[in-house]
Amino acid sequence: MTPKLIHRALSSITKSGARILLIGGQACVFYGAAELSRDIDLLIHPDPETLDLLRAALQELKAVPIAVPDLSSEVLLRGHAVHFRCKREDVAELRIDVMAILRNCEDFEALWARRTVLDVDGMVVNVLATEDLVRAKKTQRDKDWPSVRRLVERSYLAEEPAPSKISFWLQELRTPELLIEAAKRFPVEAAALGAKRPALRAAIEQDEPAIAKHLADELALEAALDRAYWEPLKKELEAFRAAKRNSPT
């Protein structure tokens, strides 16, 4: 999908006035941690007012639901994503996914308070904060992990070393060389956090093979947790599909 197409769709959504956070791949694009994204992922607080505003924006985009489930507060608060496909000519076939809950993350209000506000060609876009986006991208999908690495590296290389940032870098850097460098650069903080992260302990000892092993263990654990999180939701989704197939209307 071209940037102009994404911009057009985001314009309609942001003009709705709904409090919406951009998440997923397009958020990574705006942070410079990905080259492209073929859809738009949104996080909302599914109160009646927000849902009404979002529905109006989706209607303007001529966005139609993809299969199940339907857009409702109950469905979103159970953790499901609701999917749409745009049919308006200037954004045709763009997919929009809507969620209210992210595994590994706090509730919407906490995420909103930490959001990053970007000016994108004169359009204000509220984006999930880097730290929260990293947590959200720790999934069972292999394609998400390069974005996790790039998001943390971008923060480490470009941002000022405030205490919260130092803690974030030491707990999340996934490049052995940079993790070793960070452990040397912030030895007191690294020593304090090392008990919580084997990869960081290995970085303090400058043991790159051990770092690589522990990083692989971290990925495997997060992937397993993500699979476990989605398993009951997948079963509910199958129930939604069965109910729709058996519906007389």
- 207 and 163 co-located in one domain: yes
pLDDT given for residue 236 in this prediction: 95
pLDDT given for residue 1 in this prediction: 53
- Secondary structure in 3-state letters for the chain: CCHHHHHHHHHHHHHCCCCEEEEHHHHHHHCCCCCCCCEEEEEECCCHHHHHHHHHHHHHCCEEECCCCCCCHHHHHCCCCEEEEECCHHHCCCEEEEECCCCCCCCHHHHHHCCEEEEECCEEEEECCHHHHHHHCCCCCHHHHHHHHHHHHHHHHHCCCCHHHHHHHHHHCCCHHHHHHHHHHCHHHHHHHHHHCHHHHHHHCCCHHHHHHHHHHHHHHHHHHHHHHHHHHHHHHHHHHHHHHHCCC
Model confidence over 186-197: pLDDT tens digits? Answer: 999 999 999 999
- 101 and 206 co-located in one domain: no
| Phi, then psi, of 33 in degrees rounded to 5 | -105, 10
Confirm whether 8 is domain-assigned: yes
Contact 155, 49 (CB under 8 A): no
pLDDT given for residue 102 in this prediction: 97
Q: How confident is the model at residue 247 (pLDDT cuts 50, 70, 90)?
A: confident
Model confidence over 83-141: pLDDT tens digits? Answer: 999 999 999 999 999 999 999 999 999 999 999 999 988 999 999 999 999 999 999 99
- 118 and 150 co-located in one domain: no
Confirm whether 245 is domain-assigned: no
- 216 and 176 co-located in one domain: yes
Q: What CATH number did the domain enclosing 62 receive?
A: 3.30.460.40
- 8 and 110 co-located in one domain: yes
pLDDT given for residue 126 in this prediction: 97
Residue that is last in its domain, among 99, 129, 159: 129
Model confidence over 157-167: pLDDT tens digits? Answer: 999 999 999 99
How many C-beta neighbours within 10 Å does residue 239 have?
A: 12
Please report, for residues 45, 201, 228, the alpha-carbon distance to residue 146 in angstroms, rounded to integers and kept in the order given. Answer: 28, 22, 22
- 7 and 117 co-located in one domain: yes
Range of the domain at 69: 3-129
pLDDT given for residue 145 in this prediction: 96
pLDDT given for residue 115 in this prediction: 98
Confirm whether 159 is domain-assigned: yes
Confirm whether 137 is domain-assigned: no
More confident residue, 123 or 249: 123
pLDDT given for residue 84 in this prediction: 97
- 14 and 93 co-located in one domain: yes
- 124 and 11 co-located in one domain: yes
Inform me whether the pLDDT recorded for 249 exceeds 70.
no
- 84 and 112 co-located in one domain: yes
Q: In the predicted model, what is the mean pLDDT of the chain?
A: 95
Confirm whether 236 is domain-assigned: no
Residue that is last in its domain, among 129, 155, 179: 129
pLDDT given for residue 60 in this prediction: 96
pLDDT given for residue 248 in this prediction: 75
Q: How many domains does the chain have?
A: 2
Confirm whether 248 is domain-assigned: no
Angle between helices 48-60 and 3-15 (to 10 degrees): 140
- 168 and 93 co-located in one domain: no
What average pLDDT does this structure show over 3-18? Answer: 92
What average pLDDT does this structure show over 188-213? Answer: 98
Confirm whether 195 is domain-assigned: yes
Confirm whether 241 is domain-assigned: no
Q: What percent of the chain has pLDDT over 90?
A: 91
Find tokens 């263990």 and name the residue: 217
Q: How confident is the model at residue 178 (pLDDT cuts 50, 70, 90)?
A: very high
- 89 and 173 co-located in one domain: no
Q: Give me 229's structure tokens.
A: 């999180």
- 94 and 197 co-located in one domain: no
Model confidence over 60-83: pLDDT tens digits? Answer: 999 999 988 999 999 999 999 999
Q: Give me 167's structure tokens.
A: 């803690």
Q: How confident is the model at residue 36 (pLDDT cuts 50, 70, 90)?
A: confident
Q: Give me 43's structure tokens.
A: 């996080």
